[in-house]
Amino acid sequence: MHTTYYKNERIQQPKFTADVCFDYYNERIRIDDYRGSVSVLVKWLNTIAVKDKFFKIIIKSRYDDFSLWLEHGFIYEGEFTGFFNGASALSMCKFLRNERRASNYWVEEDNILNDVLNLPHQPYTHAIPNGYELRMADEQDSKELAELYGQVFEVYPTPMDDPGYVLKMTRSGTLFCVITYQNKIVSAASADVNPGYHNAELTDCATLVEHRKFGLMKHLIDQLEKELFQRKIYCSYSIARALSFGMNAVFHQRGYKYKGRLANNCKIFNKFEDMNIWVKDLSSSM
């Protein structure tokens, strides 16, 4: 594991247990699940955040704990509907630096979102263009996938340009779907499956510039949704760059619901970026 990027760990203390992502690259700490005393967990988080220079604390909270996090200075950013085996996770956060809290693009992102939400829903029925082939990826594709991500993203929240990292993801249950052209991968997306809570994050969406005019990503997402549905995983979600009209439009037109925006959430390209939450219940749409 690339500890310079992040590490996942279960922290067990007398008054709480928490599944924690120490995300060094993005200068944040994230709690994906917890039980026990919220107040004791908050004290622990504040101490760790100062020690390890995390400037954003993120919690996936149950509905019942919403007011507890508010009482400890956390704010609501959005909702992952159906995240916990059908029950929603509320994204609560706390910022430890003013510059991490302030977004320079919020109004522009609101305008982009408004334009996206005015688009009609479009179940994707167009055939994939001639010369392109869609398939699920396997371990042998790790090197070529890493090359694709290295070409598309100069900076990315995880080391997707490392073939060893991509291989480890594949072996741990992440589903990759690819589109090839002349036997070369030109577009890809993944579904990061949480088998315990039966949800999946659609992520790692990338298409080479010269192939972006054909709407390939809609085909990839459609295929990943079918794969998830077959596995009885009904909560499908994604977080998309709030400044990207194209990716937000893809999810809106595929029937995903906008559920909030995560401020200065992760480093993409050359800066921290705001990310929009999109969620879909596959049990009512397939």
Of 274, 278, 260, the C-alpha closest to 91 is 260
What pLDDT does 14 receive?
A: 98
97 and 111 both lie in a single domain: no
What pLDDT does 155 receive?
A: 77
Q: How far is the CA of 19 from the CAs of 4, 35, 137, in angstroms?
A: 19, 9, 29
- Residue located via tokens 């290295």: 150
206 and 239 both lie in a single domain: yes
Copy the structure tokens of residue 89.
């996770």
Domain range enclosing 178 = 106-284
Residue 270 has pLDDT above 80, yes or no: no
Tell me the pLDDT tens digit for each residue of 213-224: 999 999 999 999
131 and 219 both lie in a single domain: yes
What does the pLDDT average to over 134-154? 95
Residue 94 has pLDDT above 60, yes or no: yes
Residue 20 lies inside a defined structural domain of this protein: yes
Q: How far is the CA of 262 from the CAs of 58, 113, 133, 276, in angstroms?
A: 10, 14, 34, 6
199 and 170 both lie in a single domain: yes
Residue 3 has pLDDT above 70, yes or no: no
Query: HSE of 60 in the Cβ direction (CA atoms, 13 Å)?
Result: 18
Residue 123 lies inside a defined structural domain of this protein: yes
Domain containing 76 — which CATH number?
3.40.630.30
DSSP three-state, residue 55: coil
87 and 196 both lie in a single domain: no
Q: Which amino acid is at 36?
A: G
Query: Which among 46, 76, 101 is the end of a domain?
Result: 101
120 and 253 both lie in a single domain: yes
